[in-house]
Amino acid sequence: MQHPGRVHVYSLHIGWVVFLLLEVQRFWWFEYTLASVTEWNFARYAFVTGYAALHFFLATMLFPDDMSEFNGYKGYMEARRGWFFSLVAALLTVDLIDTLLKGKQYYEHLALAFPGPEVTLITGAIIAANIKSKTYHKLYLLLCLSAQILLIVFRTGSF
């Protein structure tokens, strides 16, 4: 929006922005369940803080402060593919661990769908970090967006 003539919009970039926005909203919604965790220690606190920080790191990857060496967001996303998808894989892995930290009762509530979708998305991110196929990247983004929406609907009971 700041420099539309200089920095070109890229549909996959916009898709990942939407994914991250949904992810941040889902993250904070589910972190409220941590209020039921009665035993806290610094390691658990640091873990949750690190999880929140991963969202920030992904946001900074999506919106770098200098794009002068790239031909718009397409060139940027292609050049930083490995870093970006490694962070996506890390975020999804931490999400999996975070779910387990919420306790047995919470896990059993999710048992039918857990951890299948998370493992699939983590594997997909690792593949995306290592291949250039635009078709794969489009399909993987569609899968991630669909998973976000389904997780929100099925785990909250509403949208």
Gap between the Cα atoms of 92 and 120, Å rounded? 10
Whose tokens are 């060496």? That residue is 69
Query: Do the Cβ atoms of 54 and 87 come closer than 8 Å?
Result: yes
Mean pLDDT of 150-156: 77
Of the two residues 71 and 22, the one the predictor is more confident about is 22
pLDDT of residue 135: 96
More confident residue, 40 or 104: 40
Is 90 exceeded by the pLDDT of residue 22? yes
Kindly report, residue by residue over 108-142, the tens digit of the pLDDT.
666 556 677 888 999 999 999 999 999 999 999 99
- How many angstroms separate the Cα of 43 from the Cα of each of 46, 49, 50, 109? 5, 10, 10, 25
- Name the least confident of 27-36, 45-54, 58-67: 27-36
The pLDDT, as a whole number, for residue 157 is 67
DSSP, collapsed to helix, strand or coil, labels residue 11 as helix
Q: What is the per-residue DSSP string for 100-111?
A: HHT-HHHHHHHT
> In this structure, what token pair is assigned to residue 88?
């996506």
**pLDDT score recorded for residue 107:** 65
Give the C-alpha separation, 71 to 9, whole Å.
Answer: 10
